[in-house]
């Protein structure tokens, strides 16, 4: 199944990344050197006056277990810059946006992808990346829960703007049946969807909480040792310090009450070591997992 879409914001991003191709020691040139044998002839561009003409841009893709075999079929010259990515998207509960997480991405050349290349699909690494995003956003006060993970992977091949000569600025002289144009930008894109269920219903379902916004009657787990105080404003501070207990890493607590003291939330909690109060400042920087 083929899908095609053009997004101006993405194209501007391609312009910035494509500019890297102008640097003598760019990553793309290193890749091209590694992928093309010196005894292979370099395919030239098709020219019509000052125009670069291309009418073929297709992707051949096949699965081999957890590996994905990819190859580009194109009549564009070998030295044209190429961006390749393989990703899977997830959706957040209550949010219509779709968020991609990459298995693979590379800034390369057309010539480097004429022969088949194998890409390993590391699903465990993909799940870890989603969970890391959850941790980071929860710590920033924007927790989310994954509601859906796509059963397909998305393969994307893009010829970006800001190519080296003989391309003109914004690929103005790039023409042909596979070229798409938005304003002054001319690019070539091919997007392919391949059915490949990840086979892990729990992936991304783990939830993390923002430490300044815990909810009553919800149970959480701390990620490091956390003090449990006997009261918020102790009459005898020395005695209160002596009475402090600690939750061990992965220790669970259930919020029973929330009170704001000196502009910071304090939580009256119930734990396995008894009841007490947790200052929200002691939770900042922790990975607070929502248990139930």
* Sequence spans of domains, the chain: 8-195, 208-290
Residue 206, pLDDT score: 56
Identify the CA nearest to 112 among candidates 58, 37, 26: 37
Dihedral (Cα; 158, 160, 166, 169), 10-degree rounding: 150
- pTM of the predicted model as reported, rounded to 2 decimal places: 0.65
Residue 143 backbone dihedrals phi, psi, to 5 degrees: -70, 155
Q: Which helix (H) or strand (E) holds 135?
A: helix 123-139
Residue 39, pLDDT score: 58
CATH number 2.30.30 given to 208-290: yes
CB 61 within 8 Å of CB 68: yes
Q: pLDDT per residue over 75-123, tens digit each?
A: 999 999 999 999 999 998 888 899 999 999 999 999 999 999 999 999 9
Give the integer Cα–Cα distance in Å for 254 and 155. 44
Residue 34, Cβ density class (10 Å: 0-12 exposed, 13-18 middle, ≥19 buried): exposed
Residue 34, pLDDT score: 38
| DSSP conformational letter for 229 | B
Identify the CA nearest to 146 among candidates 136, 131, 156: 131
Per-residue confidence at 6, pLDDT binned at 50, 70, 90?
A: very low
CB 136 within 8 Å of CB 146: no
Q: How is residue 290 written in tokens?
A: 């929502």
Residue 173 backbone dihedrals phi, psi, to 5 degrees: -100, 15
Q: How is residue 266 written in tokens?
A: 């304090």
Report the chain's mean pLDDT, rounded to a whole number: 83
Q: What is the mean predicted confidence (pLDDT) over 170-193?
A: 95
């Amino acid at each position: 199944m083929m899908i095609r879409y053009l997004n101006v914001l993405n194209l501007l991003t391609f312009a910035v990344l494509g500019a890297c191709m102008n640097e003598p020691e760019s990553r793309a040139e290193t890749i091209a050197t590694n992928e093309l044998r010196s005894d292979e002839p370099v395919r030239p561009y098709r020219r019509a006056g000052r125009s670069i003409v291309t009418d073929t841009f297709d992707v051949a893709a096949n699965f081999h277990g957890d590996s994905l075999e990819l190859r580009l079929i194109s009549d564009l010259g070998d030295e044209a810059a190429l961006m390749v990515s393989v990703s899977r998207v997830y959706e957040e509960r209550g949010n219509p946006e779709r968020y991609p997480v990459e298995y693979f991405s590379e800034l390369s050349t057309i010539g480097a992808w004429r022969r088949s290349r194998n890409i390993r699909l590391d699903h465990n690494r993909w799940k870890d990346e989603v969970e890391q995003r959850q941790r980071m956003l929860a710590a920033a006060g924007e927790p989310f829960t994954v509601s859906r993970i796509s059963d397909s992977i998305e393969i994307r091949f893009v010829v970006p703007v800001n190519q080296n000569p003989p391309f003109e600025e914004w690929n103005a002289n790039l023409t042909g049946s596979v070229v798409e144009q938005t304003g002054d930008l001319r690019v070539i894109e091919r997007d392919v969807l391949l059915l490949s269920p990840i086979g892990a219903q729990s992936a991304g379902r783990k939830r993390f909480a923002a430490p300044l916004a815990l909810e009553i009657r919800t149970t959480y787990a701390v990620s490091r040792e956390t003090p449990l105080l006997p009261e918020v404003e102790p009459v005898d501070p020395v005695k209160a310090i002596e009475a402090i207990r600690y939750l061990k890493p992965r220790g669970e607590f259930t919020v029973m009450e929330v009170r704001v003291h000196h502009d910071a939330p304090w939580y009256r909690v119930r734990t396995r070591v008894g009841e007490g109060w947790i200052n929200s400042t002691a939770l900042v920087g922790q990975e607070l997992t929502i248990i139930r």
